[in-house]
Structure 1
């Protein structure tokens, strides 16, 4: 997790790690990074609340394009335009029952019974 000044020449010269992945972070733009995999793929990423958002692969997307996209995404996060996806309890029950039906489980009545009971109050309030 090294910080460095990003440049096209510098990013091209980064060699893949012997194992796994390594992320380098831009010293000019917070949360903007460059991930290199052992297979040699190089990807621009944005760190957002312990998850990496992939911006695009290098050199298909240039450094300037990736920085512009990262700034746009950071602005949207800051302004609250991008919100994490959430669903209600009833929507979750519907999805569970649909998946259960698709998988042709032997005892769908167990899922129906589990979902038809009242959830615990802690679950409903989000605590």
Structure 2
């Protein structure tokens, strides 16, 4: 069996597909904003072992999520690992709201598992931050 690290690397490289018929389930949709390809979702492969994977369109070699009997499973589509039960790390509402607004804050903030990352940098000759202090504090 592959290690969790190998599975994580595979998911980072390949991304995952979520079939349309299960995208609306609250257990699944809590992990992303609109579910479009290119968006990210955080999966818990084991306790405290999280991977962020890109959502992708259907592909015969693409790992995909399955949702049966209230359980979320990841089908790796290979002989070595058929399915792995996973959890979805819910996207906090304040992050979801920021992402829907498409503001400078939403372009510079993301959730990585359970960590909020704000991307701050100095811009221009006056070395001002790319986000206003009020914007940073409002997140």
Q: Same fold (TM over 0.5)?
A: no
Looking at CA atoms only, which structure, 1 or 2, has the larger radius of gyration?
Answer: 1
Larger relative strand fraction: 2
Q: Give the helix-richer structure, 1 or 2.
A: 1
Per the normalisation by structure 2, the TM-score is 0.28
